[in-house]
């Protein structure tokens, strides 16, 4: 998807998602010629409890946050367990250090194995999953004990392999139970019902405005009316059918372009959009319907209340092996209608659920602009 040109000092231009040029205004069509309802243009009325959709794998351990939590949990259990064998602080510190040195290779082996085998393990029935988890945990415990024995770490040279096998199985079972609870939290039993609720809350105001715009354009500019209806159809197709766990950033940018293409016609010269898109960032995986609520907020709070309109700048780039997305909109002198912040909380939570600590989501006001920045791994 080629980015639209954007140069300092030059009026930002807009490129729609269908790769067709679009003028900032309406040409021979004036914004006053287009009929709009008196309602707002919000596309979604997002319920706060709907935070994610799509299947969540139980063995989703291929994240830095999961690895850190698992390692800290095992080391914490080891530290508490060695308290029972230590007579004083110095002895306990020595035992805890040695035990952690032996446990670390085992827990890392279990995490790497679970990450590599997450698809076949996830396809097993629950009983088989538990069996595989415990067996793999026991093997990982024996692996750590073997390394300790080979390096002469006392007291593991004189211990029997049964103890580390049982400890490894117990630790693995505890971590797996936490992963199951985490997956249930991300995908509750009534996900289908909540998704249907979200879809039913697509507000009709945006639909009414867009259809009125298309009806007005049918007589004035039939080709643009067709473009508007195509963009509207794609927006609603994604909103009503896209329930996958992840999409590419490129797909999200295309959907945002379709939304802004419709709003561009409604606002005319009042809405100016600048795109700076890095093709290398398009392959990053993000939750579906991530950018559309953000550009919608930019229109609703940055452009709509301003008599002279405003500017929205969307930029994607690759930095240090991660995709960085920034959405910047001008802040009007007049306050906009106060929002409830649901869209921002929703985006933040869904990014956390998908990428954990590997993702970043920041919002801030810089002088006369409002900035949203998202960082996700490639």
Specify the pLDDT at position 104.
Answer: 87
Instruction: Give yes or no for residue 137 having a pLDDT over 50.
Output: yes
Are residue 130 and residue 218 in the same domain, yes or no?
Answer: no
Domain boundary (186, 214, 244) is at 186
Matching residue, tokens 């900032």? 24
Split at pLDDT 50, 70, 90, the class of 313 is very high
Q: Provide the percentage of residues in the chain whose pLDDT is more than 90.
A: 17
Q: How many residues does the chain have?
A: 378
Are residue 244 and residue 264 in the same domain, yes or no?
Answer: yes
Split at pLDDT 50, 70, 90, the class of 334 is low
In a domain, 265, yes or no: yes
In a domain, 275, yes or no: yes
Enter the pTM of the model. 0.59
In a domain, 9, yes or no: no
Are residue 106 and residue 208 in the same domain, yes or no?
Answer: no
Are residue 165 and residue 254 in the same domain, yes or no?
Answer: no
Expressed as residue numbers, the domain containing 21 is 14-51+190-377
For residues 287-305, give the mean pLDDT.
Answer: 87
In a domain, 58, yes or no: no
In a domain, 57, yes or no: no
Split at pLDDT 50, 70, 90, the class of 136 is very high
Are residue 226 and residue 351 in the same domain, yes or no?
Answer: yes
Are residue 238 and residue 294 in the same domain, yes or no?
Answer: yes
Q: pLDDT tens across 72-108, in order?
A: 888 888 888 888 877 788 888 888 888 888 888 888 9
Are residue 216 and residue 81 in the same domain, yes or no?
Answer: no
List Cβ neighbours of 375 (8 Å cut-off, separation of 6 or more): 319, 322, 323, 324, 325, 359, 360, 361
CATH number of the CATH domain containing 231 = 3.30.565.10
Are residue 132 and residue 224 in the same domain, yes or no?
Answer: no
Q: Are 191 and 202 in contact (CB under 8 A)?
A: no
Q: Are 4 and 13 in contact (CB under 8 A)?
A: yes
Are residue 194 and residue 339 in the same domain, yes or no?
Answer: yes
**How would DSSP label each residue in 285-345?**
EE-SS-SHHHHHHHIIIIITT-TT-EEEEEEEEEETTEEEEEEEEEPPSS--PPP--HHHH
Instruction: Give yes or no for residue 116 having a pLDDT over 70.
Output: yes
DSSP state for residue 44 in the 8-state scheme: B
Are residue 26 and residue 86 in the same domain, yes or no?
Answer: no
Are residue 203 and residue 181 in the same domain, yes or no?
Answer: no
Q: pLDDT tens across 188-214, in order?
A: 544 444 444 444 444 555 667 677 777
Of 220, 106, 214, the C-alpha closest to 168 is 106
Are residue 338 and residue 209 in the same domain, yes or no?
Answer: yes
**Count of structural domains, the chain:** 2
Specify the pLDDT at position 204.
Answer: 53
């Amino acid at each position: 998807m080629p980015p639209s040109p954007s140069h300092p000092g030059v009026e930002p231009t807009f490129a729609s998602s269908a790769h067709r040029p679009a003028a900032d205004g309406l040409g021979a069509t004036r914004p006053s010629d287009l009929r709009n309802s008196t309602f707002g243009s919000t596309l979604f009325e997002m319920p706060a409890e709907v935070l994610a959709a799509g299947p969540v794998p139980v063995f989703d351990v291929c994240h830095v946050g999961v690895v850190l939590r698992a390692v800290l949990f095992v080391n914490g259990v080891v530290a508490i367990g060695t308290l029972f064998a230590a007579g004083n602080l110095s002895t306990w510190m020595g035992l805890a250090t040695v035990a952690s040195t032996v446990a670390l290779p085992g827990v890392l082996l279990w995490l790497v194995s679970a990450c590599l085998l997450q698809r076949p393990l996830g396809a097993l029935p629950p009983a088989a999953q538990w069996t595989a988890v415990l067996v793999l945990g026991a093997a990982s415990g024996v692996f750590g004990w073997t390394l300790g024995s080979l390096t002469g770490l006392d007291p593991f040279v004189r211990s029997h392999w049964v103890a580390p096998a049982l400890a490894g199985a117990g630790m693995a079972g505890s971590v797996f139970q936490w992963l199951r609870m985490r997956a249930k939290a991300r995908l509750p039993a009534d996900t289908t019902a909540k998704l249907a609720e979200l879809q039913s809350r697509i507000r009709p105001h945006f639909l009414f405005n867009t259809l009125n715009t298309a009806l007005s354009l049918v007589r004035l500019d039939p080709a643009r009316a067709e473009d508007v209806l195509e963009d509207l159809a794609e927006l609603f197709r994604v909103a009503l059918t896209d329930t996958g766990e992840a999409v590419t950033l490129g797909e999200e940018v295309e959907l945002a372009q379709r939304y802004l293409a419709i709003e561009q016609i409604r606002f005319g010269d009042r809405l100016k959009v600048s795109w700076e898109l890095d093709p290398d960032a398009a392959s990053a995986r993000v939750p579906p319907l991530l950018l559309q609520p953000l550009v919608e907020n930019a229109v609703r709070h940055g452009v709509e209340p301003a008599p002279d309109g405003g500017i929205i700048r969307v930029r994607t780039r690759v930095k240090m092996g991660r995709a960085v997305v920034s959405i910047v909109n001008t802040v009007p002198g007049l306050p906009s209608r106060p929002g409830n912040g649901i869209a921002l909380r929703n985006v933040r939570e869904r990014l956390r659920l998908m990428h954990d600590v590997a993702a970043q989501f920041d919002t801030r006001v810089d002088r006369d602009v409002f900035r949203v920045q998202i960082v996700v791994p490639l």
